[in-house]
Structure 1
Amino acid sequence: MKIDLYIFDSIHQFAGIFWPLDWLGILGAKYLPYLLIIAALYFLFRLKTSKEKLFFLSFTALATLLSRGIITEAFRFFYDRPRPFVALGFQPLISQDIAGSFPSGHAAFYFALALCLYLFNKKWGWWFMVLSLFMGLARVFVGVHYPSDILGGMAIAAVSFFVVLKIFSGNVTDETLDKKSLETLEKAA
């Protein structure tokens, strides 16, 4: 916990000092998630076949639901860690519900999404991973998460992704997927 607080302080200490940095932190923590959803929808609609679209949509929906909606909420039910601004008594740069901090729901959702995109398109996946990491750091900077919250969300995303990958790899055939999607799944599994 001391290292977590040390890293948090190292990042958050710059909040409120230089307005362009605050603006960048707020952009990453509050608005980047919306842009990533729009980009993911754009990616979905760029897929060529209906089978590809259905596979991407169902795989991603299951991975993100498992990551953010089930595992993250289960952790928060059993371990209600106060957010940094609550525990340390300061005003964060963005408004945020005071509900549990660990693990980060944003990190769990967006890293799961990034891994799903990586399965289909490595370039898109890497960009989403970089932007998701930036979002996670921004959420630490603005004071709504500790670094371990972000790492916990990333770990949950990875576990969820591989669970869904295992589920899908045993239950698809060339009749349910187009050739490209089937090859993608076989390479990953």
Structure 2
Amino acid sequence: MLAHAIAAELNLPRPFMVGLSPAYIEHGARGSLPSAHATVMFTVALLCLRRPALRRAGAVVFVAGILTGWARIHVGVHFPADIPAGLLLALVLVAVFGGLEHVGRRVRGVLERGSSSA
């Protein structure tokens, strides 16, 4: 949702909208930066990469994100910069999730210490 909101606010055209590429696939004429596909795939990949048991899956999803990004560029619905912008947004989201996870652990620790002393 955040990627769509940012893209709507920036409202940058897609390659097919400015005549740089035919529209090889049907797509709405809305903002392209960042790529929502890239944001979602890279967010899932990076979250998986944080967990040792899911690192292989994370690597596979990361490569799939790169390939999907390339395909979206190839069919004319994204400029090359839209894909790394999705990766950047994914990095920010994963950092926020990590920060929330850290805060949650600290709060849980405080609550557990408080309940054990009562």
User: 1:138 maps to what in 2?
Assistant: 71
Measured after TM superposition, the shift of residue 91 of structure 1 is 2.7
Show CA shifts across 1:138-184 (max 9, x none).
100111000101111110001110111111122137x79xxxxxxxx
User: 2:113 maps to what in 1?
Assistant: none
User: 2:95 maps to what in 1?
Assistant: 162
Q: Distance in 1 between matches of 2:104 and 2:68?
A: 34
User: 1:92 maps to what in 2?
Assistant: 23
Query: Can you give the 5+ residue segments of structure 2 that lack an aligned partner in the other structure?
Result: 110-118
Q: Distance in 1 between matches of 2:4 and 2:74?
A: 23
User: 2:42 maps to what in 1?
Assistant: 111
> Does 1:76 pair with 2:14?
no
Distance 1:114 1:97, change over 3 A: same
Show CA shifts across 1:36-63 (max 9, x none).
xxxxxxxxxxxxxxxxxxxxxxxxxxxx
Query: Can you give the 5+ residue segments of structure 1 that lack an aligned partner in the other structure?
Result: 1-68, 177-189
Please report the TM-score for the alignment, with normalisation by the length of structure 1.
Answer: 0.52
Distance 1:135 1:116, change over 3 A: same
Cα pair 2:23 2:75 within 8 Å, conserved: yes
Q: Distance in 1 between matches of 2:68 and 2:4?
A: 20
Q: RMSD over aligned Cα, in angstroms?
A: 1.8
Measured after TM superposition, the shift of residue 77 of structure 1 is 3.3
Please report the TM-score for the alignment, with normalisation by the length of structure 2.
Answer: 0.81
- 2:26 aligns to what SS in structure 1? coil
Q: Distance in 2 between matches of 1:78 and 1:99?
A: 10
Match of 1:149 among 82, 89, 92: 82
- 1:109 aligns to what SS in structure 2? helix
Percent identity reads 29
Structure 1 moving runs of 4+ over 3 Å: none
Match of 1:125 among 51, 58, 76: 58
Measured after TM superposition, the shift of residue 74 of structure 1 is 3.5
Q: Distance in 2 between matches of 1:112 and 1:89?
A: 29
